[in-house]
Structure 1
Amino acid sequence: MSGSTAAEAAAILKEEVDIVIPTIRNVDFLEKWRPFFQPYHLIIVQDGDPSKPIKVPPRFNYHLYNRNDVNRLLGPRAHCISFKDSSCRCFGFLLSKKKYIFTIDDDCFVAKDPSGKEINALEQHLKNLLSPSTPFFFNTLYDPYREGTDFVRGYPFSLREGVPTAASHGLWLNMPDYDGPTQLVKPLERNNRYVDAVMTIPKGTLFPMCGMNLAFNRELIGPAMYFGLMGEGQPIGRYDGMWAGWCMKVISDHLGLGVKTGLPYIWHSKASSPFVNLKKEYKGIYWQEELIPFFQSVSLPKECTTAQKCYIELSKQVKAKLGKVDEYFNKLADAMVTWIEAWEELNSSGEKSEALSNGPAK
């Protein structure tokens, strides 16, 4: 798909996109995004104290939800949505009825490319999602569907049609997405490098997904975008994006879908405390040495033909193989099943218009 065609398609898709934002504060940052976000519908998920008012700039089309809404809409299944953690964003994924989701954090602003032009991150994500991926053979000129590039000599013609793209993972200028230990040893490091590239992550390759600048096709992979049990009452935090990314990637590989990373960039304005981050992450840093080999060895049966079926099967393998690492993973495996139950309930034909009507619309 050419750049101009993709841009035109992106503009048409405004009725098929929800922007999901987790927050604990007023979302004044939206003013900076107004030229790009105002045509779209926003789902704002308030974390923390539900009695605290959240101010949204005027003239945005949005629904605002808090923990009371989670409890009311999910009832006994509400425990699968984390509290006091940005992983609460996946509640917005549950409620959306749109084909595409773009999720962004409230400390992320509009970046500029090397020419000084402001980057429309959502438009670039949609370009990525609307063009195929190439997970089975790496193209050394990266995404061959972008304007001004193509498949290089030696690329198999039988693979040039590509596969549908499930997810688009964007990057960050200024504050890179580092863990606590790396922040501690590199407190002044900033990412000033703008790399004008989009690439498909090869089949069989995992990656550390970050939820602060992420878009995905909800119809293709939405049920796998569960950000796990994090935050208050849990032994781990700041691994929500990684967990969702590992699950999503092995399921995408199994279903023959693609995942892209690279453009677009956003401006990440501030880094959280490395000491607080280390406290949240330390078990994850230890556990990931077993988690990554587990995901590298996951095999899903051919009977798993949908993201839901894949996710239920994956939950069984999590319980069987990771439950011995820590009891937390037995609890997480149960929450994965609960998440799919909630997904299927809220996305049944009788629930499609009910959920969004419960939040305050503006």
Structure 2
Amino acid sequence: MRQRTGEQDICVIVPTIREYDCVRAYVENAREHGFDTSRLFFVLVTEDFCETEQMEAMLDDLDVSGAVFDGSRREQWYEDRDIEEYGHVVPAASHAETSFGLLYMWDNPRFEYGVFIDDDTLPHDSDFFGGHMENLAFEGEIESVSSDTQWVNVLYQEAEEHGLYPRGYPYSAMDETVTTGTETIEQGDIVASQGLWTNVPDLDAVRILMDGDLQGQAQTRTEKDDFGADFVAAEGNYLTVCSMNLAFRREVIPAFYQLPMDDNEWDVGRFDDIWSGVFLKRACDLLGKQVYNGRPLCEHNKAARSTFDDLHNEVAGLELNEHIWELVDEAGTGADNYVDAYRAMADALCAADTDAYRNGEFLPYVGEHMHDWLDALSALKRVPADD
């Protein structure tokens, strides 16, 4: 672990088994824009078969604080804190291992903010970290978006031109009628800042195939001009939350578990950040909080791969994705904190009619892991234990 003196109130979480050098670009961006890098602590979540020593050397070369956690080091971290029984909440070799970064944050009270960065992204020429911090501190009037399907397409501003819907957006919610208005935000109301993406849009495999691309990317690309004013989704409306470019307040961690994907008997994958975003938005609606969307943008340089491989990883959960938001849409009424709100949503999934959906048994599996998540946080002495 490399530690520098400084405030270190921002934990930057990067899941990577590939191009970890993206960290260099984000550190350079911070320094170019005068952002104090002593506030940043980088947590690289990786695997035993990856270049952990080279990752540590990179942090040294950049003169920033951070730590690299492969599978063995994560196991040791659990053991050191006597929470080995909860190691299963973070799946190995899955994008959902970002949840380890959340556990690390929760165990270190100095971290007031978290930032998720995917390793196939790069910052634009604006102040990346400063932009996210400004969003989280935002107060004033902002555009509020809703639709007649209770879903907001985060790419809605140019949707009539490009026709894109992001990964995780329900097919049954398409062709929505969009309504915009203005909402007044008070200090502290913004608990998450979702930066959007240029170049390769974040699409699911079906939509990529419909766009005519067999390499897992997209023929239709996004540019800076495709994004207008920043916005929030109105209360009672859901939106896709992609963790490739996302900042958040510490307070949301109990309701922001990145769901257990890939390593399960139903082969459900690719919905970890999408479903966690659904649950976060429900919690936000209950508590009067908001997710800010728009800038700072990142450049998404998704590597070419078979679109059919992505389709294989997604298809097991496609039907569940159409309905999971409905299952939690009434959960937690009256809750006044993230723990109670999240516990109610976990209960709703545990009680779901598993015969109603293909791979329906995955729903209580997720609900049980959500309860385990809260218990893991409790074991770290931060939230009340589940009864």
Q: TM-score range by the shorter chain?
A: 0.7 to 0.9
Q: How many corresponding residue pairs?
A: 311
1:132 to partner: Cα distance: 3.4
Matches of 1:318 and 1:248 in 2, distance apart?
A: 15
Which residue is 1:43 aligned to? 43
Give CA deviations for 1:54-113 in whole Å, capped at 9, x if unaligned: 5221222111112223333131111111122111011101111311101100110122xx
Matches of 2:366 and 2:298 in 1, distance apart?
A: 31
Which residue is 2:96 aligned to? 87
Q: Unaligned stretches of 5+ in structure 2? A: 1-5, 31-36, 147-180, 214-218
Q: Unaligned stretches of 5+ in structure 1? A: 1-12, 112-117, 140-153, 350-362
The alignment partner of 1:321 has SS state of coil
1:161 to partner: Cα distance: 4.1
Correspondence 1:306 to 2:337: yes
Which residue is 1:108 aligned to? 121
Contact 1:50 1:68 in 2 (8 A): no
Contact 2:14 2:42 in 1 (8 A): yes
1:123 to partner: Cα distance: 1.3
The alignment partner of 2:52 has SS state of coil
Which residue is 1:70 aligned to? 74
Matches of 2:304 and 2:272 in 1, distance apart?
A: 16
Correspondence 1:335 to 2:369: yes
Matches of 2:197 and 2:127 in 1, distance apart?
A: 13
Give the number of the structure with larger relative contact order, counting CA–CA contacts within 8 Å between residues 6 or more apart.
Answer: 1
1:271 to partner: Cα distance: 4.3
Matches of 2:344 and 2:187 in 1, distance apart?
A: 27
Contact 1:83 1:230 in 2 (8 A): no
Match runs of 1:236-247 below 5 Å:
236-247=268-279
Correspondence 1:23 to 2:16: yes
Q: Which amino acid aligns with 2:365?
A: K
Give CA deviations for 1:248-274 in whole Å, capped at 9, x if unaligned: 000111011111111110011124531
The alignment partner of 1:294 has SS state of helix
Which residue is 2:176 aligned to? none
1:162 to partner: Cα distance: 6.9
Correspondence 1:167 to 2:192: yes
Q: Which amino acid aligns with 2:26?
A: W
Q: Which amino acid aligns with 2:299?
A: W
Matches of 2:27 and 2:143 in 1, distance apart?
A: 38
Task: Evaluate the alpha carbon distance shift between residue 247 and residue 135 of structure 1 in structure 2; reply closer, same or farther with a 3 A threshold.
Answer: farther
1:25 to partner: Cα distance: 3.0
TM-score (norm 2): 0.74
Matches of 1:84 and 1:250 in 2, distance apart?
A: 28
Structure ranking higher in strand proportion? 2
Matches of 1:233 and 1:15 in 2, distance apart?
A: 36
Cα RMSD of the aligned pairs, angstroms, is 2.6
Correspondence 1:284 to 2:317: yes
Matches of 2:140 and 2:318 in 1, distance apart?
A: 31
Which residue is 2:222 aligned to? 191
1:180 to partner: Cα distance: 0.5
Which residue is 1:33 aligned to? 26
The alignment partner of 1:55 has SS state of helix
TM-score (norm 1): 0.79
Match of 1:123 among 118, 123, 130: 130
Which residue is 1:145 aligned to? none
Task: Give aligned-pair identity as a percent.
Answer: 23
Match of 1:230 among 246, 249, 261: 261
